[in-house]
Amino acid sequence: MSVASPLPLLIVVVLAGLWVVWLWRQPRRQAHRRERLQAAPFPEAWERILRRRVPLTRSMPPDLLAQLKRHIQVFVAEKAFIGCEGQPITDEVRITVAAQACLLLLNRPTDYYPRLRQILVYPRAFWVPRTQPDEHGLVHADDELRAGESWDEGQVILAWDEARDGARIPDDAFNVVLHEFAHQLDAENGLSNGAPDLGSPQRHVRWAEVMRAAFAELQGQVARGEETVLDPYGASEPVEFFAVATEAFFERAQDLKQVQPALYTELARFYRVDPAGW
């Protein structure tokens, strides 16, 4: 009677052990790599792009601006930018987008949008195929023109002209980069529902109360044809309301704080910054 050699089993055990060690060391390696990126001097060319293309950064407190630059260095190193329909990917594109995306990460523990692998950039608004059922259950196919999209599968898609202009005009509450990256934050807890990861059940209860009331108020204003601080698109559904509220929080902070103080306070608790004071 032959006896099976223990060698194959030993190899499996060793390989499994090496895999466990590799998994254990990966977060530490990533942390060290990010520390090195953040310790490097912020390139002067990037500094010029930041001041020219993202004027909101000119009024930021110095400590937050320094933090933003460190985040940009990590973001640009870790996320792939892909040009579509002939759109060139330059430092101007990378820094303009990264600066706006990283505004949402200030003062908060962050893993830099861990689900996000790549940013697809089109020169201008792009057509997206859509299917929509009608009241009879029939499904209709159509194309929709979009300036941006956020996918749970690890992609953000942007129109460069909209991303550029959204940064150039820092006080109109229309910013496609802030909008789509707010969707990325919303999806980090595994469910896109207008409530990002808040850390505790108590926070979720308060968030739901404030957001529900602010959402209903916006819907009423839109129905009555009133002028609003928030983009009326936010009245369409809670997921879009959070993204639209994020745009207004960073770009019309004082106005939002005045007309929706509870909403502003809740967003300030989440984002841990107070742009009304910048």
CA dist 88 and 79 (Å) reads: 16
For position 68, what pLDDT does the model report?
A: 98
What CATH number labels 37-188? 1.10.472.150
The stretch 13-34 carries a mean pLDDT of: 63
| Residue 251, CB-side half-sphere exposure with 13 Å CA sphere | 27
Q: Are 97 and 165 in contact (CB under 8 A)?
A: no
Tell me the C-alpha distance between 190 and 196, whole Å: 9
The lowest-confidence range among 82-86, 145-149, 231-235 is 145-149
| pLDDT tens for each residue of 49-103 | 999 999 999 999 999 999 999 999 999 999 999 999 999 999 999 999 999 999 9
Domain ranges of the chain: 37-188, 192-278
What's the pLDDT at 19? 45
* Strand 118-122 versus strand 126-133 pairing type: unpaired
Highest-scoring range by mean pLDDT, 7-11, 87-91, 143-147, 199-203: 87-91
Mean pLDDT throughout 127-147? 71
What mean pLDDT is predicted for residues 224-241?
97
Task: Answer whether residue 276 shows pLDDT above 50.
Answer: yes
pLDDT digits (tens, 9 = 90+) for 98-119: 999 999 999 999 999 999 999 9
Confidence of residue 129 (pLDDT cuts 50, 70, 90): confident
The answer to whether the beta carbons of residues 138 and 127 sit under 8 Å apart is: no
Give the model's pLDDT for residue 40.
Answer: 97
Give the DSSP letter string of 92-152: HHHHHHHHHHHHTTTTS---SSTT--EEEEESS-EEEEEEEE-TTS-EEEEEEEESEEEET
pLDDT (mean) for 237-265: 98
**Which tokens sit at 46?**
């990037």
CB half-sphere exposure, 15, CA atoms < 13 A? 6
What amino acid occupies position 137?
G
pLDDT band at residue 257 using 50, 70 and 90 as cut-offs: very high
What's the alpha-carbon Rg for the chain, to the nearest Å?
A: 22
**Amino acid, single-letter form, for residue 87:** Q
Tell me the pTM.
0.86
The Cα–Cα gap between 10 and 192 comes to 45
Through-space distance between the first and last CA atoms of the chain, rounded to whole angstroms: 82
Least confident of 45-49, 96-100, 126-130: 126-130
192-278 sits in which CATH class?
alpha beta
Record the tokens describing residue 64, joined without a space. 């937050």
Contacts with 24 (C-beta within 8 Å, 6 or more apart), sequence order: none
**pLDDT on residue 16:** 47
Beta bridge partners of residue 118, listed in sequence order: 80, 155
Residue 131 has pLDDT above 80, yes or no: no
When pLDDT is averaged across residues 29-35 and rounded to a whole number, the result is 96
Instruction: Give Cα separations from 229 to 215, 234, 240 (angstroms).
Output: 13, 11, 15
Burial track 257-274 (b if 16+ CB lie within 10 A, e otherwise): bebbeebbebbbebbebe
If phi > 0 it is left, if psi is from -120 to 50 it is alpha, else beta; for residue 174 that is: beta
Percentage above 90 pLDDT, the chain: 80
Mean pLDDT of the chain: 90
pLDDT tens digit string along 169-200?
999 999 999 999 999 999 998 888 999 999 89
What band does 143 get if pLDDT is binned at 50, 70 and 90? confident
Percentage, residues of the chain above pLDDT 70? 86
